[in-house]
Chains A and B, each alone.
Chain A
């Protein structure tokens, strides 16, 4: 997993339409998605240009999880987003 190299969110991420319940619509494909609460936090963080470390920090600050597990899960999540060509 390559850490995000730019503070600017990729265009596909910026195009996403998100609501507070984790519902995401991708106008490029017409597909809709449901995010977990932590997934929503990560995606919003990415839209704001957060780095992987910052995403992990946000997760561990708010949720009951240790840094190593959070890092493992965030990396897996970013891999999913890459498969969607969102990153």
Chain B
């Protein structure tokens, strides 16, 4: 006889508002990704494991291109390397027609190694090291000037080369929808950007041919792009009118939201996240309405990262321990003694005969996963959905999901809706494709392998699991520390 899946005997007090234990609904099970069973992926590549869907990546970029190219004559997407610079991911986007957008010398080198010629690289960022900046100039990259010092450095390079140098100027704008990203570029509102453009016109060989504006990240209000685009166009028109030359392109950066869910976000992503069509209308509609009639429409560059890759990324992880977490602050004195400990009479006695100690029945399920926030950096801002990868043995209930790090802050989800889980049960976290890999660190663990599933269910290793040498390879040990291990002689 087949036995039933086991969950430990437990009892929880039913509080007001949660009288219906089924209120959280059935937990969606994710037992396969793009047709490949999660169990097979763990068997072949271990747990935890990042998984990317090639089909989803291609569908996204094609959907985005269709949305913009159907309403605007000249659009060029650039793959935002910092969002995910695994070479396989970058090359897929390059295959799909995206050029590269990089923000450092390291990323510039990666883009070149992925076959991008210099003139197909947009070079952004607040600091471009001198060697990389010079290389970018020589290779014809589209450099977006971020600040005065960079402008002066480029002016000197142009003088040395005795040649005009086309550049873009990065600006920041106040859209009224969120905090201004004043770290990046020049201010439009106080006239700084136009003043700098005029200064370049009068004193340098820098020719401003583009205006760049990345209004913010995860912009759930597409109207922010209407305002940003209007301000970019105002500056472009003023620049041309000042005699600084023709503005050939506008770059509205990235910031399109994925179907991730922010902490505290009320509406589900399916309702809150604007479509590519909505973003396209906000940007392209504004350009077509506001660009001076009779002038050729500028080329439009977009550096969308998160919305392209987030939903294609999954993290398979496994439960390694199950705990109960006391949720009643009044019970803290009881909980401090632990199960089986002798509780002082004045603590228990306060409840009296027949009364209910607050700690019992008010605990919440908690699980520890074999992955931590060191590889889920974005969990600080977003709540990945956590799916069981096997049929649940119970209804969903609020569950705290801890990571495996020896740090109290390593909490992946304060409250996720999960059935009773036991050690060894696999789960799938989604979406996690944006930023987690590029911002991950090796804190006390090796970073996991990454695979990509092709449209025919083929599984390709695109980054192997790390080993000790990957972590300590760059280290050197001084000669005097090479011997006398555990010496007691001083």
- Could you list which residues of chain A lie within 8 angstroms of chain B, going by C-beta atoms? 1, 21-24, 28-29, 31-39, 41-42, 59, 61-65, 73-74, 76-77, 79-81, 83-85
Contact = CB atoms under 8 A, between A and B. Distances in A.
Q: Closest 9 A-B residue pairs measured CB to CB?
A: A39-B9, A73-B8, A77-B9, A63-B6, A65-B6, A32-B14, A83-B360, A38-B9, A64-B3
Given A29-B355, A34-B11, A39-B11, A64 B6 contact: yes
B5 A64 contact: yes
A13 B10 CA distance: 16
Contacts of A77: 8-11
A84 B356 CA distance: 6
Nearest to B10: A36
B175 interface: no
A84 B9 contact: no
B31 to A, nearest CB: 18
B9 A74 contact: yes
Interface of B: 3-14, 19, 21, 339-340, 353-357, 359-361, 393-394, 420
Which of B10, B340, B420 is packed against the most chain A CB atoms within 10 Å? B10
Contacts, number: 93
Contact of A85 (B13, B21, B353): B353
Nearest to A26: B356
Contacts of B9: 35-36, 38-39, 41-42, 59, 73-74, 76-77
A62 B3 contact: yes
A25 B21 CA distance: 14
Contacts of B13: 31-33
Contacts of A34: 11-12, 14, 21
B356 A29 contact: yes
Nearest to A85: B354
Given A34-B14, A37-B393, A63-B3, A80 B8 contact: no
Contacts of A39: 8-11
Which of A42, A77, A84 is packed against the most chain B CB atoms within 10 Å? A84
13 contacts: A33-B11, A34-B21, A36-B10, A36-B420, A38-B7, A39-B10, A42-B9, A64-B4, A64-B5, A80-B11, A84-B356, A84-B357, A84-B361
B320 to A, nearest CB: 15
